[in-house]
A and B are shown apart, each in its own frame.
Chain A
């Protein structure tokens, strides 16, 4: 990393290499492209939403690796409002 790089606030090239490889390897290993992962996420949201209300904006979803094995990690907050009571209210109205 040169003086100029530092001056421009560019990160060391080895760091870029590592970060880029981390993503590429996860996709290579799972044979999933970013867009396939996206559509998996959408399907998951659709399925879960048929049962409970979830907070999609706060949802975490992605692939992580643990040694050489990959895992799909999803952390999905459930909306506070209890469904039945919400329904009941609307009926009463």
Chain B
């Protein structure tokens, strides 16, 4: 079966797109899918360090597009997970070095090479974003439970609908259940009410995410990490598995439900 192309985007910067791509790639590859991820953030390369592959880069996406190397030469294979590959962004070029057509052509060539092609979109709604969504079969929008992130997510969801790339699914990242309980953070229900799109996962705020990025080992590979568990669940939902958001064994109220949604129980 040809690969499914999934783009992760957000509107607002710094909400966790790269973190999500790295963790979903790790979780999918650990479950036996062949995954290629593309860093679409030309000029601000980051996915390589988050995946711990920064020392192995020879060629990048612009080298492929401009014909300086073959596709396979720019695909860096992960050491721990042999089914995981990265195509890094060009660091010394700007986003104008790539067009939407280039992305479509690249994705077409990669479809027969893997099961999932994950594209890490840059922040914003300009050229880099347009390039990243061009070949997408499915788009995941990452947001945080904060006014500016939710507002920007709404803009992006609207653009995706207008471009025929909808409906998008939502990853709510950095949820802090303690703040939600104190009524000082938008709850998952609030955010879903506002954005009115399908939810594919809630990832709690977790220090382990930073520790993992320090080491270049995404938390999805840590069986004890809460955020890692949340990303593994999202990966399973991507493959079509029904993973409950709610543990029905606990007949808790709203608070219990949020804890479970966030993977704290």
Residue A60 is within 8 A (CB to CB) of chain B in the complex: no
Q: Which residue of A lies closest to B150 (CB)?
A: A21
* Residues of chain B with a CB closer than 8 A to A67's CB: 196
Instruction: Determine if B155 and A15 form an interchain contact, defined as CB atoms under 8 angstroms apart.
Output: no
Q: Please report the C-alpha to C-alpha distance between residue A41 and residue B160 in the assembled complex, in whole angstroms.
A: 30
Give the tally of cross-chain contacts (CB within 8 A): 49
Instruction: Determine if A17 and B186 form an interchain contact, defined as CB atoms under 8 angstroms apart.
Output: yes
- 140-167 of chain B: CB within 8 A of chain A: 146-147, 150-151, 154-155, 157-158, 161
Q: Which residue of B lies closest to A1 (CB)?
A: B183
* Residues of chain A with a CB closer than 8 A to B190's CB: 14, 17-18
Instruction: Determine if A29 and B158 form an interchain contact, defined as CB atoms under 8 angstroms apart.
Output: yes
Q: Which residue of B lies closest to A29 (CB)?
A: B158
Q: Please report the C-alpha to C-alpha distance between residue A17 and residue B147 in the assembled complex, in whole angstroms.
A: 6
Q: How far is the CB of A27 from chain B (nearest CB, A)?
A: 10
Q: Which residue of A lies closest to B151 (CB)?
A: A24
Q: Which residue of A lies closest to B146 (CB)?
A: A17
Instruction: Determine if B155 and A13 form an interchain contact, defined as CB atoms under 8 angstroms apart.
Output: no
Residue B187 is within 8 A (CB to CB) of chain A in the complex: yes
Residue B180 is within 8 A (CB to CB) of chain A in the complex: yes
- 66-93 of chain A: CB within 8 A of chain B: 67-68
Residue A28 is within 8 A (CB to CB) of chain B in the complex: yes
Q: Which residue of B lies closest to A13 (CB)?
A: B184
Residue A20 is within 8 A (CB to CB) of chain B in the complex: yes
Instruction: Determine if A14 and B184 form an interchain contact, defined as CB atoms under 8 angstroms apart.
Output: yes
Q: Please report the C-alpha to C-alpha distance between residue A43 and residue B193 in the assembled complex, in whole angstroms.
A: 32
Residue A62 is within 8 A (CB to CB) of chain B in the complex: no
Q: Which residue of A lies closest to B153 (CB)?
A: A25
Q: How far is the CB of B238 from chain A (nearest CB, A)?
A: 22
Q: Please report the C-alpha to C-alpha distance between residue A22 and residue B183 in the assembled complex, in whole angstroms.
A: 17
Q: Which residue of A lies closest to B182 (CB)?
A: A1
Residue B185 is within 8 A (CB to CB) of chain A in the complex: yes
Residue B194 is within 8 A (CB to CB) of chain A in the complex: yes
Q: Please report the C-alpha to C-alpha distance between residue A47 and residue B187 in the assembled complex, in whole angstroms.
A: 43
* Residues of chain B with a CB closer than 8 A to A21's CB: 147, 150-151, 186, 194
* Residues of chain B with a CB closer than 8 A to A68's CB: 157-158, 161, 196-197
- 74-131 of chain B: CB within 8 A of chain A: none
Q: A21-B150, A21-B194 are in contact. Are A28 and B155 (CB under 8 A)?
A: yes
Instruction: Determine if A14 and B194 form an interchain contact, defined as CB atoms under 8 angstroms apart.
Output: no
Q: Please report the C-alpha to C-alpha distance between residue A28 and residue B187 in the assembled complex, in whole angstroms.
A: 22
What string of 1s and 0s marks CB contacts (under 8 Å) between A1-27 and chain B? 100000000001111011011101100
Q: Please report the C-alpha to C-alpha distance between residue A23 and residue B237 in the assembled complex, in whole angstroms.
A: 32
8 of the cross-chain contacts (CB-CB < 8 Å) are A14-B187, A17-B146, A17-B147, A18-B190, A18-B193, A25-B154, A25-B194, A29-B154
